[in-house]
Copies of this chain bind each other. A is one copy, B any other.
Amino acid sequence: MPTEKPGALDLTGMQRAVRWYPPAYDIRVEAAPIPQIIDPDDAIVRVTLAGLCGSDLHIYRGHEDVDSDLTCGHEIVGEVVALGSSFHPQVTGRPELYSTLRVGDKVVSPFTVSCGECHFCRIGFTSRCVHSCLFGIPSLPGGQAQFVRIPKAGGTLFSLSALQYSATGIANRDLSHLSDSSLILLADILPTGVFAAMQALQHPKIAPMLTAKPYPLGGHFPAQTSSQGQAAAALQSEDRILTIAVVGLGPVGICATISLLDILASLESSQGLVYQVIAIDPLEARRNKMQAIYDAIDSTGKGGGRFAIASIEDGKNLAANWTNGAGCNAVLEIVGNNSALTLAYEVVRPFGIISSVGVHQEPPLPFNGRDVYNKNVSFDFGRCPVRAMFPIALDVLLKRQDVFGGVGTDSSLIEKVVALDQAVDMYKLFDKGDCGKILFNPWI
């Protein structure tokens, strides 16, 4: 079994991997074959860190109806050790990594495959690529292992090394100080948090609070300047207070809260926005982690808005009290069960938005047609297009190194980095919500 860095590596044998067996709660750390290039677009990546994530818990708990064993994990930072024949410097007309990626490059992989070439990828909806595939399912072994195969790697991967060869955009950033444990947040949870926040803030029903112009807003439509357009005058500040609840403070919820506060703080200074954020989780450990992180963020990252961390009951009360009973303009649902969706519906205001990134299962949604009609609710559901969110998430990552940069302190999001051998215990611990983000280093 390989334990050395590439060069000394034998890529033909067996490796250590975290594996799950049906029906539920059965994690085993065992030997598995090292994945091989099976398609010209593949890359093989030597995993330097792999994340444990709330999404792993859906499979762990047996909620995903998976009936065969699999190699877990979908959050991957590593180093390219082998490339398929599609990669060579003269490639044109394909995503740029097919010509620039090299063995030895440092890469982050989003948690799903995206080709970079289909309509969905080109338009930025990369999580619904026609070749989309989640890492850590029976047909695509995951990253909680020493090596992982990345399909459509020229589209899927984000190469930190390749940035140095490019002269545009974020290529000009100095990323050399970013640790692997910081970079791995780009594989899933930070882009997903940013996505949850942006879905809400970009929604046209939120525009009145951001622009002081009443609904329905301009855009491609004529502005509202009528006599009897009661709503045509610029909105007063009392109508512009934006109240947002975050439901669920696991690692993704914390990332969403940090991203949300960062964006709101910048809107506060650029547009005089007044905002309030209520971060809700039933678990005290999760609330404490959120509090420690909030305390560590400097004022440019959280602005002057009101902020509270609350249990479910306290959260409901705050949502009412801070809004004169109206409820929240938007709710970010970052849990993935019906109790969270019910809470989101309860605390959202009429004409409010529920931005849901929780992974939901088969039970019916906990509201019927009359409920959603009666509140004029808007919903956004689904999987984060991580590949498309990368540049924005990278911005937040760079700005918030105070909370994303460290490991194991009170105010760091990442609780610990452990060996694969500890996976059985770590899954148990994370399942209880008794800890923050856990990472595996497959080489210790």
Contact = CB atoms under 8 A, between A and B. Distances in A.
A122 B221 contact: no
Interface in A149-203: 155, 158-159, 162-163, 165-171, 195, 198-199, 201-203
Contacts of A222: 391-392, 395
B228 A125 contact: no
B365 A364 contact: yes
Nearest to A359: B373
Contact of A388 (B215, B372, B395): B215
A226 interface: yes
Given A116-B230, A171-B227, A267-B220, A363 B368 contact: yes
Chain B CB count within 10 A is highest, among A169, A216, A222, A267, for A216
A356 B375 CA distance: 13
B365 A360 contact: no
A266 to B, nearest CB: 8
Given A222-B395, A369-B360, A231 B126 contact: yes
Nearest to A169: B225
A263 interface: yes
Contacts of A171: 226-227
B159 A239 contact: no
A383 interface: yes
A382 interface: yes
Contacts of A227: 96, 162-163, 165-171
A27 interface: no
A38 to B, nearest CB: 23
A341 interface: yes
Contacts of A367: 365
Contact of A390 (B123, B214, B226, B365): B226
A225 B121 CA distance: 16
B263 A220 contact: yes
A228 B362 CA distance: 36
A374 interface: yes
A289 interface: no
Interface in A354-389: 356, 358-365, 367-370, 372-383, 385, 387-389
A71 to B, nearest CB: 23
A224 interface: yes
A46 interface: no
Contacts of A391: 222, 224-226, 229
B392 A224 contact: yes
A43 interface: no
Nearest to A382: B376
Contacts of A121: 230-231
A125 B169 contact: no
Contact of A216 (B168, B208, B389): B389
A219 interface: yes
A216 B338 CA distance: 28
A127 B205 CA distance: 14
A31 interface: no
A374 B134 CA distance: 12
A306 interface: no
A119 B323 CA distance: 11
Nearest to A164: B227
Contact of A341 (B167, B341, B363, B369): B369
A204 interface: yes
A435 interface: no
B378 A379 contact: yes
A124 interface: yes
B372 A379 contact: yes
In the complex, the 4 A-B pairs of residues with the closest C-beta atoms, listed nearest first: A360-B369, A376-B382, A166-B227, A124-B215
9 contacts: A95-B228, A123-B351, A125-B351, A125-B376, A166-B228, A216-B392, A225-B391, A226-B391, A228-B390
